[in-house]
Amino acid sequence: MKKKVLILSGGISKERLISLDTGQQVAKELTRNGYKVKISEPDNNLEKNIKTFKPSVIFNALHGQFGEDGYIQSILERFKIPYTHSGVIASSIAMDKEISKKIFIKHKIKTPKFITYSYEEKISDLIKQITKKLKFPVVVKPLNEGSSVNVYISEKSNLKNILYKLKSYKKVMIEQFIAGREIQVAIMGERKLGAIELKPKRKFYDYQAKYDSKAKTKHIIPVDLTQFKFNQLMNIAFKAHKIIGCRGVTRSDFKYFNGDFYLLEINTQPGMTKLSLVPEIALYKGINFIKLIEWMLKNASKKK
């Protein structure tokens, strides 16, 4: 008998629409393959839905804050029902760009240099820091958003305007801008699944490039690297997956410049939409969408 799967979808983050899309597509594929499926928002009805539906596994299709930062995971732990993707601690670490980058640095994984900025600080002092440590242009981003939400490339001239746009975050990351190729790597449990290169028509692989089919980002697979460089890339992604304590599927975002790979971040809950990268990498490796989802459901019960 096929499992009963509760899909957590929607949520309150800025990635709500992506989460709804992921949830719908996963639900459609599971239903087509004989599973009994229920979609639930992570709201006040969640406990009731779990108790009445009695799922054997929960597929976490949430993205962004509350969904992949350890918060919903800590709630799910109470029910003692297997759930997909990483657990509480790994999720919270991966979502916090400052903490995860410090861990990368400690383990000798190259990542762009960065500083953080709190809005009590003077912008003139920040500009001095940037000039000394990073140089312009820089990447300005929230500490705990996914899908490149509110990520900007800033010159000195427009830094003040960008910081004003992000004022609701109280604290942001200012990161060294690395030119070069955009490469994403998928890890599937203990398996180094594969990689894909992205050539966005836009300035960089931002939210629109990821989710708007009109943005026409070019997906290149296999990635044009020597076997030695490809193995090096996969090993870095796998190392990051392990040191953060992830399980299930993760996707690591890299920049490749002058022979070096720079790890930008690791995503513990990569999207499962028609434009998503992990399903595309998996398919190239002979794993279709339903097989990928079924593996994730099976892996959910193998908690560390």
Q: What CATH number is attached to the domain comprising 53?
A: 3.40.50.20
Q: Are residues 194 and 275 in the same domain?
A: yes
H or E element at residue 24: helix 16-32
Annotated catalytic residue, options 19, 100, 144, 147: 147
- Which of 69, 175, 182, 265 is flagged as catalytic? 265
User: What is the number of structural domains in the chain?
Assistant: 3
Residue 77 has pLDDT above 70, yes or no: yes
Active site residue 161: no
Q: What is the pLDDT of residues 136-191, one digit of tens each?
A: 999 999 887 654 667 899 898 889 889 888 888 888 999 999 999 999 999 999 99
Catalytic residue among 251, 252, 256, 280: 251
Q: Are residues 102 and 246 in the same domain?
A: yes
Query: Within a 10 A sphere around the Cβ of 302, how many other Cβ atoms?
Result: 10
Q: What six digits make up the tokens of 83?
A: 């759930």
253 in catalytic set: yes
DSSP bridge pairs for 185: 195, 252
pLDDT at 303: 61
What are 95's two structure tokens? 């979502």
pLDDT digits (tens, 9 = 90+) for 4-63: 999 999 988 888 888 999 999 999 999 999 999 999 999 989 999 999 999 999 999 999
Residue 255 C-alpha from the chain's centroid: 15
Catalytic residue among 211, 248, 256, 294: 211
Q: Are residues 270 and 144 in the same domain?
A: no
**Measured between alpha carbons, how far is residue 243 from residues 34, 206, 263, 299 in Å?**
37, 27, 14, 19
Pull the structure tokens for residue 295: 């593996």
89 located within any domain: no
Nearest CA among 281, 186, 196 for reference residue 240: 186
Contact at 8 Å (CB) between 261 and 253? no
280 in active site: no
Is the same domain home to 119 and 20?
A: no
257 inside domain: yes
Q: Which residue among 175, 194, 271, 294 is the active-site one?
A: 271
Q: Are 59 and 120 in a shared domain?
A: no
Residue 128 lies in a domain: yes
Kindly name the residue from 9, 267, 276, 299 that is annotated as catalytic.
267
Same domain, 20 and 73: yes
- Quickly tell me which residue has 């980002």 as its tokens: 217
| Residue 105 located in a structural domain | yes
Which amino acid belongs to residue 266?
I
Q: Which helix (H) or strand (E) holds 95?
A: helix 88-95
Same domain, residue pair 231 and 261: yes
Tell whether 39 and 148 lie within a shared domain: no
Residues 99 and 229 in one domain: yes
Q: Is 21 a catalytic residue?
A: no
**CB neighbourhood size of 270 (10 A):** 26
**pLDDT at res. 209:** 45
- 70 and 99 part of one domain: no
- Tokens matching residue 29: 């594929």
> Is residue 217's pLDDT more than 90?
no
- Predicted confidence (pLDDT) at residue 210 exceeds the cutoff of 50: no
Active site residue 15: yes
Q: Is the pLDDT of residue 204 over 60?
A: no
Q: In this structure, are 100 and 216 located in the same domain? A: yes
Per-position DSSP letters for 157-177, written without gaps between them: GGHHHHHHHTGGGSEEEEEE-
- 215 pLDDT tier (thresholds 50, 70, 90): low
33-54 burial: b if 16+ Cβ within 10 Å, else e: eebebebbbbeeebeebbeeee
Residue 104 in any domain: the answer is yes
Report whether 35 contacts 2 (CB < 8 A). Answer: yes
Catalytic site residue 271?
A: yes
- pLDDT tens string 245-303: 999 999 999 999 999 999 999 999 998 877 789 999 999 999 999 999 999 999 996 66
Boundaries of domain holding 276: 94-109+179-300
CA-to-CA dists, residue 181 to 169, 258, 262, angstroms:
29, 10, 10
Let me know if 224 is a catalytic residue: no
Q: Give the type of residue at 88.
A: V
CATH number of the domain that 229 lies in? 3.30.470.20
Question: Using an 8 Å Cβ cutoff, are 187 and 282 in contact?
Answer: no
Q: Any catalytic annotation for residue 267?
A: yes
Whether 142 maps to a domain, the answer reads yes
102 with 250, same domain?
yes
